[in-house]
Amino acid sequence: MSEWPDSSAVTADLDVSAALRDHARWLRAVVYSRVGDQDAVDDVLQEVALAAVRQAASLPVADRLGPWLYRVAVRQALLYRRKCGRRRKLAKNYVDLQAPTEADERSPEPLQWLLAEERSSLLRAALERLPRRDKEILLLKYAENWNYHEIAEHLGTTHSAVEARLHRARQRLRGELDSVGESDDKVR
């Protein structure tokens, strides 16, 4: 694998390709000292080669080619580091925007997580103790997020009947939650 374009891919003279090969070793060291990553060195050297090919007509004479390549390599290394810095800053800004806060619901504290789990298990136990019709209408309303009209339409009742059934079901659920909570306290 050649790090420089071969002469068949270059539209300029064979001198450009030969010059790049002659200076490859020390250019690699210069670029590596600037970017510090071997994979990045190959990318930067490709940019140096592209710059040399683009400017093949205006390349300096052979004795000035080394300093010119040095300046191009340093410039390309700096551009590469600047691009990496922008990417890091962009990633950091994104992380800062997505970082959880103390009151973030996505990652609750362990105590809050345990309390939510306990409330959830108490609610399940209370729901199991309700009559089937009450459990059904509560689940349609709160688990499925149906409105009164959707429930009435699917159950074949009126809007006011759904309101009354939901009201009674919520009262029964509160009573069951109180009794489940009291029985849970007695067990402890």
Q: Is the domain of 88 the same as that of 18?
A: yes
pLDDT digits (tens, 9 = 90+) for 83-98: 999 999 988 888 777 7
Percent of the chain with pLDDT strictly greater than 90: 22
Q: Is the domain of 21 the same as that of 87?
A: yes
Task: Quickly list DSSP for 85-145.
Answer: HHHHHHHHHHHHHH---TT-SSS--HHHHHHHHHHHHHHHHHHHHS-HHHHHHHIIIIIS-
Q: Is the domain of 81 the same as that of 155?
A: no
Tokens for 16, please give them: 């450009």
42 CB-side CA count, 13 A: 5
Q: Is residue 103 part of a domain?
A: no
**Residue keyed to tokens 């420089």:** 4
Q: pLDDT truncated to tens, each residue of the chain (188 aa)?
A: 445 544 444 434 447 788 888 888 888 888 888 888 888 999 999 998 898 888 877 766 767 778 888 888 889 999 999 999 999 998 888 877 776 655 555 566 778 888 888 888 888 889 889 998 898 899 889 888 999 998 988 888 899 999 999 999 999 999 998 887 766 555 45
Q: Is residue 104 part of a domain?
A: no
Residue 4, helix vs strand vs coil: coil
Q: Is the domain of 124 the same as that of 179?
A: yes
Q: Is the domain of 118 the same as that of 53?
A: no
Residue 51, helix vs strand vs coil: helix
Q: What pTM did the predictor assign?
A: 0.45
**Count: domains in the chain:** 2
Q: Is residue 160 part of a domain?
A: yes
**Full residue range of the structural domain in which residue 155 is found:** 110-187
Q: Is residue 20 part of a domain?
A: yes
Q: Is residue 181 part of a domain?
A: yes
Q: Is the domain of 125 the same as that of 85?
A: no
Last residue of some domain: 57, 77, 98? 98
Domain with residue 68: its CATH number is 1.10.1740.10
Q: Is residue 6 part of a domain?
A: no
Q: Is residue 114 part of a domain?
A: yes
The b-or-e profile of 122-141 (16+ CB within 10 A means b, else e) is ebebbbeebeeebbebbebb
Q: Is residue 74 part of a domain?
A: yes
